[in-house]
């Protein structure tokens, strides 16, 4: 009896262990092996490289190649592209492409501009079908960017936007543009200024059309919603604009902007000049010149340091300041200067200014910002020269890009052994370096 009980108990134990093993096997599903179904660079430059699970093909069996297209078309003209649909499903699919608004887009492409051929097709499993999509822009269309989705399946909305090309949908963008009739050579003005100071800047324009074009520049306040740090906007009373009202064909024009920085200004202040060019070829933002000013306050007290002279040899003091140009358009409009005072046990010794020197770094631009603006309809790399004499050859400004400018003052004073105090009061600069040489002048 005991032996029977032992066998029964052992059998139950083995069965329970087997059941537990089955339970463990069921609770650990095998991870699905992802399948790379596309890895290519489409002709329009759109890069597609996505790992798509095999199971997704059951829900969305169509793959659109390319999944994204960007067309640039002038008003009154048209352009077309060809997309290929791949049926990875197990059944024949009937496809009827249609244009639908793109979610979260303010500039919706008018579906009447788009024609698709064929309008309907059946795609067998593992087969392909090409569709020609033609976009015709009306002559009176407004310039700008337009967006739409072209759906080949029933999926729409956020789901369709997640995987362009892999859900039977095409993401279509159209840039309606015209070459600008007015070249704007200055996309922004940037300067380091002193609170309470007044400076004048210029914006250079050229009419490349065969007709007169009117302009009416005005100042616009700028809110700081795009800035991470606090910035105050200039007021209309702080800015004076002088400009012609008409630019004749082939003529170059200068817009003068006089800016007065408030005496209590601190940190950064900004503003914007809207050129109000009366020509449809100029986009809204292509005629707005941003202004950004780094405001500094003149210190009340001079910088002081001490040093010891072991001999009575002459003492040479060099003070150096450098202004870095962070991007074209950023350059100080004023030259630094320094007040240098030296003192020892005998009292104040007035240093003598013996020389001043200037240094600079210049690079040659690789691409004309005017041509870039014409191609992109944006001012992305224009050059700004602050408070400079009017240069008739304004195209030359695109060639030489100023990187930094340096200014040095050299002083000498009769030496004496002992403790010395050096005082430096800087003007029109936020940084400076100095050197002290005790010995015969080199």
Percentage above 70 pLDDT, the chain? 71
CATH superfamily of 34-176: Immunoglobulins (2.60.40.10)
Q: What digits encode the pLDDT tens for the residues 39-92?
A: 333 333 333 334 344 545 555 678 889 989 999 999 999 999 999 999 988 889
Q: What digits encode the pLDDT tens for the residues 269-308?
A: 999 999 999 999 998 888 999 999 988 888 899 999 999 9
Query: pTM for this one?
Result: 0.62
Percentage above 90 pLDDT, the chain? 51
Output the CA torsion sign for 343, 344, 347, 350: negative
In which residue are the tokens 């052992």 written?
10
3-class SS at 329? coil
Q: Which of 430, 187, 222, 233 is nearest to 329 (CA)?
A: 187
Per-residue confidence (pLDDT) for residue 164, from 0 to 100: 53
CB–CB of 329/402 below 8 Å? no
Question: What one-character-per-residue DSSP string does 77-122 give?
Answer: -EEEEEEEEEE-SSS-EEE--EEEEPTT-SSBPPGGGEEEESS-EE
Domain boundaries, the chain: 34-176, 182-438
Per-residue confidence (pLDDT) for residue 440, from 0 to 100: 84
Q: Do the first three CATH levels of 34-176 and 182-438 match, i.e. the same topology? A: yes
Q: What digits encode the pLDDT tens for the residues 155-203?
A: 544 554 554 555 678 999 999 999 999 999 888 898 888 889 999 999 9
- Dist CA 249 CA 353 (whole Å): 52
pLDDT at 228 over 60: no
Query: For the residues 23-32, what does the mean pLDDT come to?
Result: 42
Per-residue confidence (pLDDT) for residue 398, from 0 to 100: 53
- Dist CA 260 CA 265 (whole Å): 11
Residues making up the chain, counted from first to last: 442
For residue 131, count CB atoms less than 10 angstroms from its CB and return exposed for 0-12, middle for 13-18, buried for 19 or more. buried
Mean pLDDT, rounded, of the chain? 78
> Domain 182-438 belongs to what topology?
Immunoglobulin-like (2.60.40)
pLDDT at 374 over 50: no
Q: What digits encode the pLDDT tens for the residues 319-363?
A: 999 887 644 444 455 688 999 999 999 999 989 999 999 999 888
């Amino acid at each position: 009896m005991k032996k029977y009980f032992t066998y029964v108990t052992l059998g139950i134990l083995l069965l329970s262990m087997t059941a537990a093993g089955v339970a463990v096997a069921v609770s650990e599903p095998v991870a699905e092996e992802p399948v790379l179904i596309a890895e290519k660079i489409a002709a329009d430059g759109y890069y597609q490289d996505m790992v798509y699970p095999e199971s997704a093909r059951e829900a969305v069996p169509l793959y659109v190649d390319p999944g994204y297209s960007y067309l640039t078309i002038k008003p009154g003209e048209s352009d077309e592209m060809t997309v290929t649909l791949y049926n990875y499903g197990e059944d024949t699919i009937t496809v009827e492409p249609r244009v639908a608004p793109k979610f979260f887009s303010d500039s919706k492409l008018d579906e009447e501009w788009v024609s698709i051929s064929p309008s309907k097709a059946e795609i067998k499993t593992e087969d392909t079908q090409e569709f020609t999509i033609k976009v015709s822009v009306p002559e009176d269309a407004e310039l700008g960017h337009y967006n739409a989705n072209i759906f080949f399946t029933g999926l729409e909305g956020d789901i369709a936007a997640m995987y362009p090309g892999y859900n039977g949908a095409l993401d279509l963008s159209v840039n309606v543009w015209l070459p600008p009739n007015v070249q704007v050579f200055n996309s922004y003005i940037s300067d380091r200024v002193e609170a309470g100071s007044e400076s004048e800047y210029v914006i250079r324009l050229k009419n490349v059309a065969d007709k007169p074009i009117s302009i009416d520049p005005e100042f616009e306040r700028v809110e700081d919603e795009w800035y991470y740090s606090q910035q105050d906007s200039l007021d209309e009373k702080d800015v004076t604009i002088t400009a012609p009202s008409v630019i004749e064909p082939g003529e170059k024009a200068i817009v003068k902007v006089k800016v007065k920085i408030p005496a209590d200004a601190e940190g950064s202040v900004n503003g914007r000049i809207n050129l109000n060019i009366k020509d449809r070829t100029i986009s809204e933002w292509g005629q707005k010149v941003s202004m950004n000013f780094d405001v500094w306050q003149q210190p009340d007290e001079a910088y002081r340091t001490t040093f010891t002279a072991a001999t009575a040899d002459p003492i040479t003091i060099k003070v150096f300041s450098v202004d870095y140009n962070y991007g074209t358009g950023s350059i100080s409009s004023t030259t630094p200067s320094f007040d240098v005072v030296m003192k020892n046990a005998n009292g104040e010794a007035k240093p003598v200014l013996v020389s001043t020197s200037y240094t600079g770094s210049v690079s040659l631009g690789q691409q004309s910002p005017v041509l870039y603006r014409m191609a992109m309809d944006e001012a992305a790399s224009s050059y700004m020269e602050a408070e400079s004499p009017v240069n008739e050859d304004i195209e030359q400004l695109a060639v030489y890009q100023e990187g930094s400018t340096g200014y040095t003052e050299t002083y000498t004073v009769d030496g004496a052994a002992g403790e010395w105090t050096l005082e430096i009061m800087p003007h029109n600069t936020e940084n400076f370096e100095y050197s002290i040489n005790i010995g015969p002048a080199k």
